[in-house]
Structure 1
Amino acid sequence: MVTVDYSLYLVTDSSLVPHDLTFLGQIEKALEGGVTLVQLREKDLDTGPFIELAYKVKALTRQFNVPLIINDRIDVALAIDADGVHIGQDDMPLTQARQLFGNDKIIGVSCNTIEEAQIAVHQGADYLGIGAVWNTATKKLTKKTLGIQGVQDILAAIPPIPNVVIGGIKLDNGKELLENTTGVSGLSIVSGIMAAPDAKKACKELLSMIRNYVVNPMTVQNEIVEYAIKAIEHIKTKSPLVHHMTNNVVINDNANATLAVGASPIMSTNDEEVNDIAKINGSMVLNMGTLSPKMAETMSMAMKSNHDLGHPIVFDPVGAAATEYRRVHTKKFLESGTVTVLKGNTGEILYIAERGGKSRGVDSVGGNGGEENAALAVKETAQKYNCIVAMTGEIDYVSDGHRVFAIENGDNLLACITGSGCMVSSIVGCFTAVNRDNYLYATIAAILLVTIASEKATKRSDVQGPGTFRSALIDELYNVSNKPSILEEYAKIREVKL
């Protein structure tokens, strides 16, 4: 599913169009004015005419690369291959709609209460339509209006999710709403656009106001993806040497993953050659999965040598909370002040951040404590140790101590093979080796490449389970890195506001 900009969401109503204008003309003018999403809502049309009209509206939205949502009618949405469908509380249940419509389409749900919103989030809605905020003449209301406080109460009771607020919204009260709420993704407008004598001008004014309060997620994502594509090209061009001191279980996979993206691995734990390798190194990857006293000493030497030469150091604190021995060395390595990127799983990073964190051996167990806890964990740890912190899990979180990003790519099979997290560390080493201008974006780019490669691998007909997935993952790291424009299609990145 593509990332959607919900900032200015038009809901159509043909009955509102001024007599001297046309329905399709209003939609076209609205698109010219910057509408970011269109919902075709025509309650009184029969199926045939609705489909005919939907095709015409789709042709317009495609010209402006804006998604088209169909209100209520899943049959119409399927018939024209719309981008999504919006359902109300009295329409088809969300779970059934998802079965019919598939996981690659957008499904929005109307919500008027905290309970309705929580159920919609739990069932997997892609966005919420929250309202009605104020009285509106475009729809007969059967429930109370929310007002600004009601909107804020709903948003405070649910995890962050894309949403639009609807109901009696104009330019002035929309501004008041955005000034006094946190977490609104956009405004849904009906009469303010459809009844406007100049829909293009109305949309420009609305969007200009909205942009003062709502960050377009597409802008952020596109910026990072553009960086990632160039970063991959740098790896291919420069083929940096990435020195690994990693655990014995994953040496072969880490080396192959490094080669697959165009870098050159060296897997040495010999303390007598640490300084010589550092002189020709691009980056250093340290993984304490099979830590021993000798390995710990050599790792400390490697960290100092590479730090003195200005090379980025990626530290993977495998099993950081599992034993006292690992806890002591995790702290020692981090307090050395040489780590550029700290990359760990959920249990490891939460433990380091003192925000929970449970593990069984080297595996993370339990959740992340919610998005706010996860985001604060990476942000606070990045500030404390002056490095980039990446926490991998069902959703990956990355921070430089100022900004926090969530990456929602990746397939569940990553958790079914040993060393997938270690592989991520290797790829972070590849990216940071030759993209030293922005270690935050380089780290996000590395995680993005691995997680999207995992999604591509799972779709292959030759993948039947974890064993075949492991081999396919290496293949897809190679394939995606040789065609990095694929990232534009798959990337799901958003900035987390705290």
Structure 2
Amino acid sequence: MNPKEWRTYLVTQGSRSAGRDTEAIVEAALDGGVDAVQLREKGVSDAERYELGRRLRELTADAGVPLLVNDRVDIAGAVDADGVHLGQSDLPVAVARERLGEEAVVGRSTSTVGEARAAAEAGADYVGVGAVYGTGTKDVPDAKDGIGTDRIREIAEAVDLPVIGIGGIDADNAGAVAAAGATGVAVVSAITAADDPRAATAALREVVDDAR
């Protein structure tokens, strides 16, 4: 469950899954060797997200892969997730850890060196950095144009935390993100919308491994 070992990180979103259910996508990604799964699922009710989280908890636990919940510390606790990923406007890292326990993994979204340093000082276990490239995911900072791999390098050099690149990443450009210093990459559509999510996960992992 060490973020330093994460190469591929799936962020779920049913609306970007080509009509397939999220459980099927996660199962395929687990078969493909994904290292971490984040329950995101924007646009659904709390009850739906909770029920899905319970089912994903079973799948990820059986596979020995950590499950995190996007933004919602309460849902993370309710489904016994391994941790939470927090945006800049979410609860402080220390509060999330207090509610989820000292062993919980707490990540923070960042897009600047200053934000990454603040996350490190607050005790985050890793930082998600993006959007690296332009993306249609609305809640990724700087999603329209992307911050580029130079920012990945700057942040990786500035903080002693695992850096997970996110935003517009796929197998064609993931190598550049890893080569710039990212520990791994977080993706939505590169896996959820793929014709073969298992193969897409395996290919992404191989690209990141080769570039590191």
Q: Same fold (TM over 0.5)?
A: yes
| Cα displacement (A) at 1:72 | 0.6
Question: For residue 198 of structure 1, what is the aligned residue in structure 2?
Answer: 196
Question: For residue 145 of structure 1, what is the aligned residue in structure 2?
Answer: 146
Question: For residue 14 of structure 1, what is the aligned residue in structure 2?
Answer: 14
| Cα displacement (A) at 1:45 | 2.4
Q: Aligned runs of 1:46-65 on 2, under 5 Å?
A: 46-65=45-64
Runs of 4+ in 1 over 6 A off after TM superposition: none
- In the alignment, the residues of structure 2 paired with residue 52 and residue 22 of structure 1 have an alpha-carbon distance, to the nearest angstrom, of 13
CA change 1:55–1:140 in 2 (3 A) is closer
- In the alignment, the residues of structure 2 paired with residue 169 and residue 70 of structure 1 have an alpha-carbon distance, to the nearest angstrom, of 20
- In the alignment, the residues of structure 1 paired with residue 131 and residue 169 of structure 2 have an alpha-carbon distance, to the nearest angstrom, of 9
- In the alignment, the residues of structure 1 paired with residue 205 and residue 91 of structure 2 have an alpha-carbon distance, to the nearest angstrom, of 32
- In the alignment, the residues of structure 2 paired with residue 74 and residue 138 of structure 1 have an alpha-carbon distance, to the nearest angstrom, of 21
Question: For residue 189 of structure 1, what is the aligned residue in structure 2?
Answer: 187
- In the alignment, the residues of structure 2 paired with residue 142 and residue 65 of structure 1 have an alpha-carbon distance, to the nearest angstrom, of 30
Question: For residue 99 of structure 2, what is the aligned residue in structure 1?
Answer: 100
- In the alignment, the residues of structure 1 paired with residue 98 and residue 33 of structure 2 have an alpha-carbon distance, to the nearest angstrom, of 32
- In the alignment, the residues of structure 1 paired with residue 163 and residue 158 of structure 2 have an alpha-carbon distance, to the nearest angstrom, of 13
Could you state the TM-score of these two structures normalised by the residue count of structure 2? 0.93
Task: Report SS of the residue matched to 1:91.
Answer: coil
- In the alignment, the residues of structure 2 paired with residue 141 and residue 78 of structure 1 have an alpha-carbon distance, to the nearest angstrom, of 24
- In the alignment, the residues of structure 1 paired with residue 76 and residue 167 of structure 2 have an alpha-carbon distance, to the nearest angstrom, of 24
Determine which structure has the larger helix proportion and give its number: 1
| Cα displacement (A) at 1:177 | 2.5
| Cα displacement (A) at 1:18 | 1.4
Task: Report SS of the residue matched to 2:128.
Answer: strand
Q: Given residue 102 of structure 1, which amino acid in structure 2 is its aligned partner?
A: G
Query: Cα RMSD (Å) of the superposition?
Result: 1.5
Q: Given residue 48 of structure 1, which amino acid in structure 2 is its aligned partner?
A: A
Q: Aligned runs of 1:99-498 on 2, under 5 Å?
A: 99-143=98-142, 145-158=146-159, 160-179=160-179, 181-182=180-181, 184-214=182-212
| CA deviation string 1:77-113 (max 9, x = no partner) | 1111110000000111222222222211000000011
- In the alignment, the residues of structure 1 paired with residue 2 and residue 170 of structure 2 have an alpha-carbon distance, to the nearest angstrom, of 26
Asked if the contact 2:54–2:79 (Cα under 8 Å) also holds between the matched residues in 1, the reply is yes
* Higher RCO structure, 1 or 2 (CA under 8 Å, sep 6+): 2
Asked if the contact 1:6–1:163 (Cα under 8 Å) also holds between the matched residues in 2, the reply is no
Asked if the contact 1:61–1:67 (Cα under 8 Å) also holds between the matched residues in 2, the reply is yes
| CA deviation string 1:39-89 (max 9, x = no partner) | 000222222221111011111111211000011111111111110000000
| CA deviation string 1:400-440 (max 9, x = no partner) | xxxxxxxxxxxxxxxxxxxxxxxxxxxxxxxxxxxxxxxxx
Asked if the contact 2:16–2:193 (Cα under 8 Å) also holds between the matched residues in 1, the reply is yes
| Cα displacement (A) at 1:139 | 2.4
- In the alignment, the residues of structure 2 paired with residue 48 and residue 106 of structure 1 have an alpha-carbon distance, to the nearest angstrom, of 23
Task: Report SS of the residue matched to 1:149.
Answer: helix
- In the alignment, the residues of structure 1 paired with residue 122 and residue 171 of structure 2 have an alpha-carbon distance, to the nearest angstrom, of 33
- In the alignment, the residues of structure 2 paired with residue 139 and residue 35 of structure 1 have an alpha-carbon distance, to the nearest angstrom, of 24
Q: Given residue 162 of structure 1, which amino acid in structure 2 is its aligned partner?
A: P
Q: Given residue 49 of structure 1, which amino acid in structure 2 is its aligned partner?
A: E
- In the alignment, the residues of structure 1 paired with residue 79 and residue 23 of structure 2 have an alpha-carbon distance, to the nearest angstrom, of 17
Asked if the contact 2:57–2:81 (Cα under 8 Å) also holds between the matched residues in 1, the reply is yes
Q: Given residue 33 of structure 1, which amino acid in structure 2 is its aligned partner?
A: G
- In the alignment, the residues of structure 1 paired with residue 140 and residue 49 of structure 2 have an alpha-carbon distance, to the nearest angstrom, of 24
- In the alignment, the residues of structure 2 paired with residue 13 and residue 112 of structure 1 have an alpha-carbon distance, to the nearest angstrom, of 22
| Cα displacement (A) at 1:157 | 1.7
Could you state the TM-score of these two structures normalised by the residue count of structure 1? 0.41
Task: Report SS of the residue matched to 2:97.
Answer: helix
- In the alignment, the residues of structure 2 paired with residue 190 and residue 100 of structure 1 have an alpha-carbon distance, to the nearest angstrom, of 27
Identity of aligned residues (%): 38
- In the alignment, the residues of structure 2 paired with residue 102 and residue 53 of structure 1 have an alpha-carbon distance, to the nearest angstrom, of 22
- Structure 1 unaligned spans of 5+: 215-498
Q: Given residue 173 of structure 1, which amino acid in structure 2 is its aligned partner?
A: N
| Cα displacement (A) at 1:22 | 2.5
Asked if the contact 1:111–1:117 (Cα under 8 Å) also holds between the matched residues in 2, the reply is yes
Task: Report SS of the residue matched to 2:38.
Answer: strand
Question: For residue 34 of structure 2, what is the aligned residue in structure 1?
Answer: 35
- In the alignment, the residues of structure 2 paired with residue 140 and residue 51 of structure 1 have an alpha-carbon distance, to the nearest angstrom, of 20
- Structure 2 unaligned spans of 5+: none
Q: Given residue 195 of structure 1, which amino acid in structure 2 is its aligned partner?
A: A
- In the alignment, the residues of structure 1 paired with residue 102 and residue 67 of structure 2 have an alpha-carbon distance, to the nearest angstrom, of 16
| CA deviation string 1:323-356 (max 9, x = no partner) | xxxxxxxxxxxxxxxxxxxxxxxxxxxxxxxxxx
| CA deviation string 1:186-213 (max 9, x = no partner) | 0111100000110011111111111213
- In the alignment, the residues of structure 2 paired with residue 67 and residue 161 of structure 1 have an alpha-carbon distance, to the nearest angstrom, of 18
Question: For residue 86 of structure 2, what is the aligned residue in structure 1?
Answer: 87
The aligned length equals 209
- In the alignment, the residues of structure 2 paired with residue 154 and residue 18 of structure 1 have an alpha-carbon distance, to the nearest angstrom, of 34
- In the alignment, the residues of structure 1 paired with residue 150 and residue 141 of structure 2 have an alpha-carbon distance, to the nearest angstrom, of 19
| CA deviation string 1:2-50 (max 9, x = no partner) | 434311000011101113x322111101110110100000222222221
